[in-house]
Structure 1
Amino acid sequence: MPLDSVIVARIVALIQDGRGQRETARIVGKSLCAVQNVYQRYEETGLITRRPGSGRKRVTTRRDDRFLVSTSLRNRTASAVLLRNQLQEVRDVNVSEWTVRRRLRAAGLSCRRMATGPPLQRRHRIARLAFAQNHLAWNDEDWSNVLFSDESRFCLNGSDGRRRVWRRPGERYAPVCIDERLPFGGGSVMVWAGISSEARTNLVFIQNGSLTAHRYITEVLEDHVMPFMITMGEHGILMHDNARPHAARIVRGYLDEVGIRRFDWPALSLDMNPIEHVWDELGRRVRRHTPAPRIAQELRELLLQEWNNIDQNVILNLIQSMPRRLQTVINARGGNTRY
């Protein structure tokens, strides 16, 4: 990499003041070879700047580069081909899409997969921000009184999109290089569960139809939540989201009748619920299993086995991350977060 003109000027000044080249190299923190080359160039040209390069000249100017950067920042999903066309149309500069990519990479921009998140409207952001601010001061003891609950669906032939394959050119559609997928995942199993710092509920399978408000009361709240909340004592709080079976009037009435406190949980806030990461861990364990389950009954048995094998310390660490989650929501002003 060429030396800065300030360093070059200092090297020349030190040598002209009578310093040796080896001593000068030690003072400026450069190699002796670099100092010798710099001073030799100065003696030949009388300049501290580099000689004009003999290679191919840059097609784009700094103004063209700024145009590419600003255009890509205004339209984050624009392809390199589209940016190249806009540069040619506006600036009358013709370059390849590879040149566009190099200019953007030099400016610190890189092309990556978009992060995913729910479509948050203004009211969602306000509610999420208010919840995070109201509970930011809670400590580990406060969060240990919360039962985080949710449902999740696991497919027989699901894929997390992370599978990769080593292949030769032309082997994209070779049988060994295809990730075979069945429509709708080849069948699925829906489960419900709850977690807390000290323990977890049983894994409940939602079978024979979808989960309704009445089934949520009879199959989940009465059989699993009520006994668990009794063990948590009078400070226990139930966390469930705003899904229709949870927010139904008969469900709210039942919780009020039996005296179960619950969070006023903001909508579209999966990132604040640590049980979502438990579902991810459970899904990874199932996908790693060999042989893979072929029917729904095998999948249910494997889910139950792996659910019981998850270390409680993993769940504890997730719940203790709540202050960091809330602070991240506040930093994002109620927007989507990395969680």
Structure 2
Amino acid sequence: MLLDTTGVARAVAIADAGYSQRRIVRMLGVPRTTVRDTIRRFRQTGLYTRRPGQGRHRCTSTRDDRFVVSDVLRNRFCTATEARTRLFEVRNVSVSERTIRWKLAERNLRAFRPARALQLLPQHRRPRLAFAREYGNWTMEQWKNVLFSNESRIALRGPDGRQRVYRRKKERFTPCAMTETVGYQGGSIMIWGGISYEARTELVIFDRGSVNAQRYVEEVLQDHVITFTTFIGENFRLMHDNARCHVARSFTEYFDEAGIQTLPWPARSPDLNPIQYTFGTILKDVFEQDYQRLRA
């Protein structure tokens, strides 16, 4: 990877200030060999540019490089092979996939795994927009009256996809390089929890059977939500998603009898629920409390 004139000047100035090459690598975001060769070349020639005629002849022009970069920016999921084919079809320039990757790396474009998000259709976007317009101006005092709740299913022996094993080629099915699994992930448990601005509920574990509306009312609402309303006050509101047990007739009738107000939650909106980002912390606290209790 090569640095332009500005990058070379920055690297030399940072080195003259007494910083190490490792610090320069972190500041400029380039490989350590690039920093080493750049500073060495400047010490020898006193120039911020490369020596005349140094290096291999470039097989693409500046316009070709701009075409490759703009083509990839228009189609972010384009592969190096597809970009090479497009360059040959439009500009009649034949290069390798490795050259395409180098051209993109010079513009700080590298391939990563894409982030995943829920598919939002127009019928999902409209309720989300209406929800944001109605509750986007709420004050912190109003949000303090809301209990955010959610359920999560945990596979007892399900793989998380992050485990790695070191092996040689053709050792994929060697017993020491394999992991044992159980059909249907060896069972699972359902947990429920709720958080507010100042407190959280106890963690409810449904270890057996499915969770229907009746069980949800008996084990969650009566034992935890109703008692939590006295902590928040008369302006209490419950937030939950649109799971089947939440929209059943018996469930809504119980809400009407208990006088519990809920937030109209738009479909496919787990990113709007803050408890989605705190379940790990809640589970950690619960397990640490159980561990301390067992030690005592």
**TM-score between both structures, scaled by the size of structure 1:** 0.65
Q: What's the Cα RMSD here?
A: 3.4
Residue 271 of structure 2 is aligned to residue 305 of structure 1? no
Equivalent position of 1:188 in the other structure: 188
Q: Quick check: 1:272 aligned with 2:272?
A: yes
CA deviation profile, 1:261-297 (whole Å, cap 9, x unmatched): 11011111111212112223456x4xxxxxxxxxxxx
Q: How many Å separate the matches in 1 of 2:289 and 2:112?
A: 33
Name the residue aligned to 2:197: 197
Q: In the alignment, does 2:58 pair up with 1:63?
A: no
What is the rounded CA distance, in whole Å, between the counterparts of 1:208 and 1:262 in structure 2?
A: 28
CA contact (8 A) 2:189 2:208 kept: no
Q: Displacement, 1:76?
A: 2.1
The DSSP-based 3-state class of the residue aligned with 2:241 is: coil
SS in 2 for 1:152: strand
SS at structure 1 position matched to 2:246: helix
Letter in 1 for 2:125: R
Work out the percentage of aligned pairs sharing the same amino acid.
Answer: 47
Secondary structure of the corresponding residue to residue 154 of structure 1: strand
Q: Say if 1:282 and 1:307, in contact at 8 Å, map to a contact too.
A: no
The whole-number CA distance in structure 1 between the counterparts of 2:185 and 2:167 is 25
**Gap change, CA 1:221 and 1:53, over 3 Å in 2:** same
Alignment of 1:13-92 (within 5 A): 52-92=52-92
Distance between the aligned counterparts of 1:107 and 1:236, measured in 2? Answer: 52
With over 3 angstroms needed to count, the CA separation of the structure-2 counterparts of 1:90 and 1:179, relative to structure 1, is farther
Deviates more, 1:241-250 or 1:127-136: 127-136
Indicate the larger mover: 257-266 or 81-90. 81-90
Mapped partners of 2:181, 2:221: distance in 1: 36
Separation in 1, partners of 2:208, 2:50: 78
Q: Which amino acid aligns with 2:81?
A: V
Distance, in Å, in 1 between the alignment partners of 2:142 and 2:42 is 63
Counterpart of 2:94?
A: 94
Q: Which amino acid aligns with 2:187?
A: G
Kept in 1, the 8 Å contact 2:148–2:239? The answer is yes
Flag the 1:51–1:153 CA change in 2: closer, same or farther, 3 A: closer
Matches of 1:202 and 1:50 in 2, distance apart? 65
Partner in structure 1 of residue 240 of structure 2: 240
1:147 aligns with 2:129: no
Determine the structure 2 residue equivalent to 1:111.
111
Q: Which piece of structure 1 moves more, 179-188 or 149-158?
A: 179-188
Structure 2 counterpart of 1:215: 215
For residues 116 and 282 of structure 1, do their structure 2 counterparts lie closer, same or farther at Cα, with a shift above 3 Å needed? Answer: farther
Query: 3-state DSSP class of the match of 2:278?
Result: helix
Counterpart residue identity of residue 264, structure 1: P
**Cα deviation, residue 161, structure 1:** 3.1
Q: Conserved in 2, the CA contact under 8 Å of 1:72 and 1:78?
A: yes
3-state DSSP class of the match of 1:87? helix
Which consecutive unaligned segments of at least 5 residues does structure 2 have?
10-38, 292-296
Task: Answer whether contact 2:213 2:245 (CA < 8 A) is retained.
Answer: yes
Work out whether residues 282 and 306 of structure 1, in 8 Å CA contact, stay in contact via their aligned partners in 2.
no
Q: Distance in 2 between matches of 1:149 and 1:3?
A: 55
Cα separation, 2, equivalents of 1:70 and 1:138: 42
Larger Rg: 1
- Cα distance in structure 1, aligned partners of 2:289 and 2:142: 25
CA distance in structure 2 between the partners assigned to 1:278 and 1:135 by the alignment: 21
Provide, for residues 228-266 of structure 1, a one-character-per-residue CA deviation record: whole Å limited to 9, x for no partner.
213321011101011111122332222122110110111
8 Å CA contact retained: 1:149, 1:240: yes
- Distance of 1:230 and 1:3 partners within structure 2: 67
Structure 1 282/99 Cα, relative in aligned 2: closer, same or farther at 3 Å? farther
Residues 65 and 209 (structure 1), Cα distance of their counterparts in 2 relative to 1, 3 Å cut: same
Q: Give distance in 2, aligned partners of 1:94 and 1:224.
A: 67
SS of the counterpart of 1:151? Answer: strand
- Opposite residue 287 of structure 2, the aligned amino acid is Q
Aligned counterparts of 2:4 and 2:146: Cα–Cα separation in 1:
60
Ranges in structure 1 where 5+ consecutive residues have no aligned partner: 8-30, 40-48, 286-302, 310-339
AA partner of residue 249 (structure 2): R
Shift in CA distance, 217/76, structure 1 to aligned 2, threshold 3 Å: same
- 1:113 partner letter: R
Distance 2:58 2:118 in 1: 43
- C-alpha separation in 1, matches of 2:267 and 2:118: 10
What TM-score do the two structures reach when normalised by structure 2? 0.73
Rounded to whole Å, the distance in 2 between the matches of 1:75 and 1:180 is 40
Offset of 1:151 from its aligned partner? Answer: 0.8
- The alpha-carbon distance between structure 1 residues 205 and 37, as it changes in their structure 2 partners (threshold 3 A), is closer
> Greater relative contact order (Cα 8 A, min sep 6): structure 1 or 2?
1
Matched length: 258
| Deviation larger for 254-263 or 65-74 | 65-74
Alignment-mate amino acid for residue 68 of structure 1: V
